[in-house]
Amino acid sequence: ILPSGEAATLKMGNADYPLMATADMEAVKSFLVEEHRAEKLNIRKLAIVSMGASSMVAATYAIADWEKTPYPDAPTMEARTPRGQDVQSLIMYSPTTNVRGIVPTNILKTLKALPISIYIVAAKDEKEDAKQAEKLFKAIELKGDQYKDSRKMTLSGGTTHAEAYLEGKLAEVTNKDLMEFLTKNVKELDAPWRDRTDRRTK
C-alpha cells in the first residue's frame, strides 16, 4: 500500500515522486520476486493500493512494469522467462493527478491501454477529491459491459480522504468492496505460478 503524498513529513521535490516510481517501487518488487521464487506468493497476481499523490506513482510504476521485456534466455519470446507484466490491479483512494515531476497526460493515456483493473474511490463531499477522481476515471475509463467490473469509480458520501478509508468503522465497508474487486480481478485471474529465474544464471 502506497501512502498519500500529503502525509509525508518532508517536502517532496520534483525528482522525488519519479524516484519513488522507479527506485523505491522496484526495490519492493525485487523483494516480492524473491518471495515468489521461494513459492511464498505468486508475483503474477500483483495489486497496488495507493492514496492521494502516490496514485500517480503507482500508475507510473505499473506502466514501467508492463514495459519490461522477458529475459533473453530462450529462442522464442513465448519461452523466455518474464520480468514484468505483473501489476494486475490498481486501487486509488482520493487520487490526484497533480504530482511534482510526473506529467499526467502520457501516463494516463498509456495506463488506459494496459490490460489491468483499476478502482478509484473518493468522497463526493470533498470537492477537489471528487473532481480529481472524475478526471482520472474519465482518462482511463473503458466503454462496454466487459469492463464494468474492472474499471470502476465510487464517490462515497462524507468527507473521507486517502488513508481514512482504511481506518475505523468505514474500513469495514471499504475493505469489503476492495476484497470483492481484488478477488474478481486478481485472485481469480488465470495466472499460475511460473519460475522467475533467468535460465542463464542457473
φ, ψ for residue 34, nearest 5 deg: -65, -40
**In tens digits, what is the pLDDT along the chain, a chain of 202 residues?**
666 655 444 566 667 888 999 899 999 999 999 999 999 999 999 999 999 999 999 999 999 999 999 999 999 999 999 999 999 999 999 999 999 899 999 999 999 999 999 999 999 999 999 999 999 999 999 999 999 999 999 998 889 998 888 887 767 767 888 899 999 999 999 999 999 999 999 8
Which residues neighbour 115 within 8 Å (Cβ) at sequence distance 6 or greater?
Answer: none
62-67 contacts at long range (C-beta below 8 A, 24 or more positions apart): 62/87, 62/90, 62/111, 62/114, 62/116, 63/107, 63/110, 63/111, 63/114, 64/21, 64/22, 65/29, 66/114, 66/116
Among 9, 13, 8, 10, CA closest to 99 = 13
Which pLDDT belongs to residue 115? 97
Helices (H), the chain: 16-19, 25-37, 54-66, 104-113, 127-140, 170-182
Residue 27, C-alpha cell as written in the block:
526495490
Q: pTM of the entire structure?
A: 0.90
